[in-house]
Chain A
């Protein structure tokens, strides 16, 4: 297989349909909530009743603009909507309102970082706005297809890549980056299982160096990132195997069976459908001014790529730490909020990735449900930095106690728990003298050169202080008492 695979070049283009988190549908004022009872979020507009008309949804346009700006796209200043005409049961008007010749966004890219460390920009062809269809359900009734029109008219953006993706790994990473991005921008929940983020792949193989692409196969129904990767890997291998065996690849649409890990044929595409696109006469052209773009840009949160750069340079975090913290917007924001109260960037990262993450994992909760404010984490860090408590006390005693009593102040709680480090020299001198008095032979040995015994005396001092002695002061005092 290895040599065969090397002979071929794989060409993959992805189309990602992203359901926008608008409150209302694309071209009407219907609610657009997911999971409502079938055929309850509907209206005359989305059922295509006679005489109804669409209208612009500014919220949706804003969301699409954000994604376009985040990907560095060129924004089209004057866009026409288009009608894509075809007959199907879940398309009440007999056409879909979409954008054809003038997509809202063109060009741009999404950066991915591969497992071998290689970075690659996946170039985009376009991002455009369109309305979704209803949902046909073919497997709930033996004799009938059921149709839920709730989804009809909800807003989608379609993100289309250039055919520059080479492997399942790249495809998976791309989808993952897009999902991270739309979640950061709060424009889509990114849920692939519920279908709010759907990915189709166009895959072909050709001999390395060939001028013409091979026959294209479209693969649908990959409802998780790992399935995207698996489906593409399977399909690529299948096509290469087919070509090697001199069996031509058929132009068709295939679906991915996640259980078997295989793609299977859904329908052949002998003739391309003529969708008779033409400008939608019911909607005036969408004019996007430079001011609108700037306004949108200014309202955007920092993006994962920017934050990653900032965390690794300005805050000196490791690549791994920066990667983990920017994985989702909540964690990154929590981190930034801790930094509003402390300049100990590393300690903040350590707390977030250690104590906080551990707690969340153990209790299977999300950061949004976590009881402590970022300020409280910053306070623990400050108590440690100021030598008020030790590192170990901070993580093992104060943090869990604070989580249980999130309304308390960190310092008060530390006092109550009696874990404040004692830096009173006299108290430590007393302890040091007691310890040395209890181990006279060790003191002799120390004085005869076994300097390593200082650790033993330190351990005893710390034990007898109940962890409250400041280790630095204890060392200093011990050395003095030992006559150095």
Chain B
């Protein structure tokens, strides 16, 4: 049972040649057969079937929503009433969400079927999904390799056909990097395009929810449902949401910037470099203007990103104190030991590392040297990125410098792990949208992606260009 796009699936659904129940059953079977991948933390089996049954009735009555037939998984940091949500952390053991994330409300309103919650790095901190308190997720292409992170479960669920679409969250590349590693499509929308209400925060000024899909079409269909103003999130834009699906058309003949600094970056795999050059040639040959531009900020981006995100995280994660919900240490005997013991037991090592780093950069003696300076660097990156996007429609980069690495390969080297984000942190630093497209394959068979970035709120153009580039590279 395979449908290239949601639109195709819905035609079959309306024609009565397939039912939602059949679709859900087929995914449930795939999930059972791929348990070893550890993509799902929990499968909402009975509930998904019951909902599928409801949607089938709606289809019969011709009053189904826009996402009827869409089976979707949620990264384990998105709140869904009555369901556990833990950010793959022990500290939220036993916590059940008492309200829906805005994206969940919107998906359910359009009859999407939520099939389960997906493994990720603890509090979305990681690039390999090895930081989950519930074990690593395996790359379906090569089980000895990581799926990337932090939305590793989301990417593998789509890669292994365990659900049609998955929602992830992207703070520094957490959707696009695993998409690159798993051969899926991944999008980080403009900061402020999708409500963060109900998303367990990692770094508030970076986090965005976005889809992992197997086509640009599905990406457009899901984005147009989850995007848009929300009174519960003051950082969401009032900018109207275009009909991304309806307006989706493959369109090229654009002006594209490529950073020469990326092509010469240390650690960029030769095959990926070759692939990028092929893409540049193909684009030029098809009438696009592609220009090499200098963007000498690459070395500053990852440090800037880590100073700011750890600062925000150290504050965002203060609420996990063992007091009102989640894990409370049995060793706790007073207020202070409740805080200290519960947090010591509840958080994993990478989360602790980032809380400590963030606490340090915000401390009064070091605030100016780190936090203030990083804010300035961020502003410069924003301005310089905007400047380029005045002259060009898109920026084209590899998504990742390498293909998926081996499990354990970088687990003990945080810096090497952090550098896996080198091409993905620019978009969240600048707040612009970016998509990773699965255009490349190594000789080993491992996939990798190319990344397109566009100006703020230009998701429509970005989707159209992505469809165009993907089709161009397929030929």
Contact = CB atoms under 8 A, between A and B. Distances in A.
A94 B335 contact: no
Contact of B197 (A48, A53, A87, A278): A53
A278 B371 contact: yes
Contacts of A87: 318, 321, 339
A95 B318 contact: yes
Interface string A277-299: 11001111000000000000000
B323 A89 contact: yes
B315 A55 contact: no
B295 interface: no
Contact of A83 (B79, B87, B198, B315): B315
Contacts of B201: 50-51, 282
A274 B362 CA distance: 9
A291 to B, nearest CB: 19
Nearest to B233: A53
B200 A50 contact: yes
B218 to A, nearest CB: 25
A453 to B, nearest CB: 86
Interface string B175-219: 000000000000000000000111111011100000000000000
A54 B319 contact: no
A309 interface: no
A49 B198 CA distance: 9
Nearest to B312: A281
B258 to A, nearest CB: 31
Interface string A15-56: 000000000000000000000000000001001111111111
A276 interface: yes
Contacts of A277: 362
A259 B136 CA distance: 63
Contacts of A278: 311-312, 315, 362, 367, 371
Contact of B318 (A52, A53, A55, A93): A93
Q: Which of A87, A89, A95 has the most CB of B within 10 A?
A: A87
A298 to B, nearest CB: 27
Nearest to B319: A48
A85 interface: yes
Interface in A242-301: 274, 276-278, 281-284
B315 A276 contact: yes
A interface majority secondary structure:
loop
Contact of A44 (B92, B98, B231, B321): B98
B319 A92 contact: yes
A47 B98 CA distance: 12
Contact of B79 (A47, A51, A54, A89): A51
A432 to B, nearest CB: 82
A56 B320 CA distance: 24
Q: Which of B99, B198, B201, B319 has the most CB of A within 10 A?
A: B319
Interface residues of A, number: 29
Nearest to B230: A53
Q: Which of A52, A55, A56, A83 has the most CB of B within 10 A?
A: A52
Interface in A101-145: 145
A256 B67 CA distance: 64
B461 to A, nearest CB: 25
A44 B233 contact: no
A276 B200 contact: no
A1 B362 CA distance: 48
A85 B318 CA distance: 8
Contacts of B199: 51
B409 to A, nearest CB: 32
B78 to A, nearest CB: 8
A274 B364 contact: yes
Contact of B234 (A48, A49, A53, A89): A53
Nearest to A27: B234
A93 B312 CA distance: 13
Nearest to B365: A274
A55 B79 contact: no
Q: Which of B199, B320, B321, B364 has the most CB of A within 10 A?
A: B321
Contacts of B318: 85, 87, 93-95
B95 interface: yes
B382 interface: no
A44 B363 contact: no
Interface string B366-378: 0100010000000
Contacts of A55: 231-234
B196 A53 contact: yes
Interface in B67-103: 77-79, 85, 87, 92, 95, 97-99, 101
A89 B335 contact: yes
Nearest to A45: B232
Interface in B352-401: 359, 362-364, 367, 371
Interface in B401-444: none
A278 B98 CA distance: 29
Contact of A47 (B95, B317, B324): B324
Nearest to B371: A278
Contact of A276 (B231, B232, B324, B363): B363
A50 to B, nearest CB: 5
Contacts of A93: 318-319
B371 A145 contact: no
Contacts of B196: 51, 53
B235 A282 contact: yes
A44 B79 CA distance: 12
A53 B236 CA distance: 11
B390 to A, nearest CB: 24
Interface in B314-342: 314-315, 317-321, 323-325, 335, 339
Nearest to A282: B204
Given A92-B324, A283-B235, A85 B315 contact: yes
B181 to A, nearest CB: 27
A151 B386 CA distance: 44
Contact of A49 (B77, B98, B204, B312): B98
A53 B87 CA distance: 17
A92 to B, nearest CB: 6
B101 A51 contact: yes
Interface string A50-71: 1111111000000000000000
Nearest to A52: B197
A55 to B, nearest CB: 5
Interface in B138-163: none
B98 A50 contact: no
Given A44-B98, A50-B92, A50-B319, A276 B359 contact: yes
Nearest to B334: A145
A282 B235 CA distance: 7
B233 A51 contact: no
A50 B231 contact: no
Interface in A407-430: none
B324 to A, nearest CB: 6
Contact of A48 (B204, B232, B324): B324
A94 B233 contact: no
Q: Which of B87, B232, B320, B339 has the most CB of A within 10 A?
A: B232
A278 B368 CA distance: 11
A89 B362 CA distance: 22
A274 B198 contact: no
Interface string A354-368: 000000000000000
Interface of A: 44, 47-56, 83, 85, 87-89, 92-95, 145, 274, 276-278, 281-284
22 contacts: A44-B99, A47-B324, A50-B200, A50-B320, A51-B78, A51-B196, A53-B197, A53-B235, A55-B232, A56-B234, A85-B315, A85-B318, A87-B321, A88-B335, A89-B335, A94-B317, A94-B318, A274-B363, A276-B362, A278-B311, A278-B312, A284-B234
Given A87-B321, A282-B235, 12 more contacts: A50-B92, A51-B77, A51-B97, A51-B200, A55-B233, A85-B362, A87-B318, A92-B324, A276-B359, A278-B311, A278-B367, A281-B204
Can you list the 6 inter-chain pairs with the closest CB atoms, starting with the nearest?
A94-B318, A281-B204, A276-B362, A281-B205, A48-B319, A51-B198
